[in-house]
Structure 1
Amino acid sequence: MRVGLLGAGRIGNVHAQAISSHPESELAAVSDAFETNAQALAKSYGCEVRSSDEIIVDSSIDAVLIATSTDTHSDLIEAAAAAGKAVLCEKPVDLSLERASACLGNVGDKASGIMIGFNRRFDPSFGALKAAIDAGEIGKAELLSITSFDPAPPPVEYIKVSGGLFRDMMIHDFDMANFIMGEAPVSVSAVGTSVVDPAIGAAGDVDTAAVTLIYADGRLAVIKNSRRAVYGYDQRVEVLGSEGLLQAQNVLENTLVKSTTAGVNSAKPTYFFLERYMPAYKAEWAAFVNAVQGKTDMPVNLHDGVAALAMAEAATRSAQSGQPIAMADILKTSGRGEAA
């Protein structure tokens, strides 16, 4: 499968590694708004530098991976789908729920064949937890807890264009909640503050947040995010069920545990997201290849991407208003009118 990569920044380089390491895909061309980025990546992987438009219309390229700035995602998804390309697009679909919903409508029946890059679904530990729930190992899942703390906040200049913590950071956790619970919630309640860096608050965002999701049958999910955890990249999931508890713990820098009279000590969590999730990115790409080859359905499609963005929109409104937000109201105002 010949692949065009749109975007040669940090995440583009991650995807280039996954594409090139897969035995059934070849990185054929790359584009980027900054040609020096594209040239550097092309040199590393032996591919051509071309414009995004050229890549999309090239009939010899089978698939495109979109890793450009978020404000270009919907346009590129629509153009690639119209050209008959298989598409994997980084999250989120757009910063605007209305634009993302329009994209969903514009691609029509091709939406189920467009994959959105929620790589955490492909983390081995989270995948094992989901499989155990589906197998009924703890009965009915009743209470989900997701912890997602970054080791340090990004630059404030990034914060200003990110769309906010709920759309930029917690959107991964919204998708994880949908993945684990098997459906979207009916209500979202959020609180957020800026206690890590006052400049983040001055930029109109929050850096510390908690969200409660309520499901139609009474199940609950709680998501906690922080832009600062000085000990490392903290990524944990816990599910309490009617017959037991499942926990997916952090990946540590090493497995050494020292036990003495002074106490028991182990290593810290890995510090950077690439250390934690590079296996997930490779598994994500392998799943995409399988789906394009018709071996499976697309595991995370455009409908899923819009559903997570709708939850981010609900959380943003809830944090601003101090009130719970019904998902039905969000979907009505976005023009969708129904849950995913």
Structure 2
Amino acid sequence: MLTVGLLGAGRIGAVHAAAIAAHPRSRLAAVSDAVAASAETLAARHGAAVRATEDIVADPAIDAVLIATPTDTHADLIEAATAAGKAVLCEKPVDLSLERARACLRAADATGRPVMMGFNRRFDASFRALRAALDAGEIGTPEMLAVTSFDPAPPPLDYVRHSGGLFRDMAIHDFDMARFLLGGMPESVWATGSALVDPAIAEAAGDVDTAVATLRYADGRLAVVRNSRRAAYGYDQRVEVLGSAGLLEVGNMRETTLRRSTEAGVTGAKPTYFFLERYMPAYRAEWDAFVGVALDGAPVPVGLEDGVAALAVAEAATRSLATGLPVRLADV
């Protein structure tokens, strides 16, 4: 049985707490959060204790920690937890600073303890099936990837101010998906964006809410990532891969599978509204994989180095947005 401490009791912390508590091989022992009421509510829901973060990290009876705290705490907590001998699952990104993230990778590697990054989309059944089809050569050589990732509505402005920007906060999932499906790192990134959803995102936070990033690989392959903070019809998550012998597609999960076909036309349900509905099975599969890592010594399926790599692409995209020019990953 894996004894777990949860650091962070916000929205994503609650998602992880449910996965930990439901798994037959893990037990949620303790919860910490800067907001005491949040920790108390979540701990009571799952029969866990409320404890200080430093006490959870130092407790030898706790085997693993899940880090779901604000981004600027991730690197410090990864380092402290691995130094204390714990296995770690950390939400993305590693840090807002690429230099700090790389230092964290070196420090964690030196302890020999496993660190898994929370890129939950890698555990989605449809995306895994797409990856398996690519590996099987079903469409020949992959040549172009298109990722669409539109949120139904923008987050609060205060969140945007502290997020590190759309590329580090939102598109980082899609940059990791490009690595998951195409393998390796792009040679260069060109990005552009605008604040079309809410002008305050540009005026008060200096960010964009609508963006396109083009990743070019050394062998000429291309990946196009489209992001928007607003899709009035729901959470839009689609992936296409064009290859030398065909096309693979993953479409949206919908509220229902009912489709109406009449002389007036063909209609169906909207996509599920947000990531909680769309990716709950992926979060459970992610946690199951982590339990295998921590208890059985299974290989880490998405490690801290993957988090650093995705952050490097996000950094390149952020620099490209600022300059209007392509940015080589070798220069990041």
The answer, yes or no, to whether TM exceeds 0.5 is yes
1:216 counterpart letter in structure 2: A
The corresponding residue for 2:42 is 41
Tell me what 1:304 maps to.
Answer: 306
2:202 and 2:118 mapped to 1: Cα distance? 28
Partner residue in 2 for 1:334: none
4+ aligned runs moved over 3 Å, structure 1: 109-112
Distance of 1:312 and 1:110 partners within structure 2: 27
The equivalent residue for 1:335 is none
| Cα drift, residue 220 of structure 1 | 0.6
- Give the match for residue 154 of structure 2: 153
Aligned to 1:264: 266
Shift of 1:210: 0.2
* Counterpart AA for 2:179: N
What is the rounded CA distance, in whole Å, between the counterparts of 1:112 and 1:257 in structure 2? 49
Match of 1:314 in 2: 316
Secondary structure of 1:293's partner? helix
Q: 2:223 — aligned with what?
A: 221
Return the TM-score normalized by structure 2: 0.98
Gap change, CA 1:113 and 1:295, over 3 Å in 2: closer
Give % identity.
Answer: 67
Q: Distance in 2 between matches of 1:294 and 1:302?
A: 19
Give the SS at the match of 1:53.
Answer: helix
Q: Which amino acid aligns with 1:326?
A: R
CA contact (8 A) 1:104 1:111 kept: no
CA–CA distance in 2 between the matches of 1:188 and 1:113? 30
| Alpha-carbon contact 1:64-1:85 (below 8 Å) kept | yes
TM-score, structure 1 normalization: 0.96
RMSD, matched Cα = 1.0
Q: Deviations over 1:318-339 (max 9, x none)?
A: 0110000000010xxxxxxxxx
Show the counterpart of 1:118: 119
Contact 2:140–2:244 (Cα < 8 Å) also in 1: yes
What amino acid maps onto 2:139 in structure 1?
Answer: I
| Residues 1:112 and 1:265: Cα distance change in structure 2 (over 3 Å) | farther
Partner of 1:252: 254
Give 1:102 shift: 1.0
**How does 1:232-243 map onto structure 2 within 5 Å?**
232-243=234-245
Structure 1: runs of 5 or more not aligned: 331-340
Which residue is equivalent to 2:14?
13
Query: In structure 2, what residue type is equivalent to 1:137?
Result: E
Deviations 1:199-231 (A, max 9, x none): 011120000000000111111100000000000
CA distance in 1, matches of 2:148, 2:274: 16
- Quote the offset at 1:184 in angstroms: 1.1
Contact conserved, 2:88 with 2:115, CA < 8 A, in 1? yes
Is the partner of 1:285 in helix, strand or coil?
helix
Q: What CA distance in whole angstroms lies between the structure 1 residues aligned with 2:278 and 2:290?
A: 20
**Contact in 2 for aligned 1:67/1:90 (Cα 8 Å):** yes
1:280 aligns with 2:251: no
Aligned ranges 1:1-340 → 2 under 5 Å? 1-110=2-111, 113-202=114-203, 203-294=205-296, 296-330=298-332
1:111 Cα shift? 6.8
Distance between the aligned counterparts of 1:291 and 1:120, measured in 2? 18
Flag the 1:62–1:99 CA change in 2: closer, same or farther, 3 A.
same
Number of residues of Structure 1 aligned to a counterpart in Structure 2:
330
| Conserved? CA contact 1:112–1:303, under 8 Å | no
Per the TM alignment, residue 109 of structure 1 is displaced from its structure 2 partner at its CA by 4.1
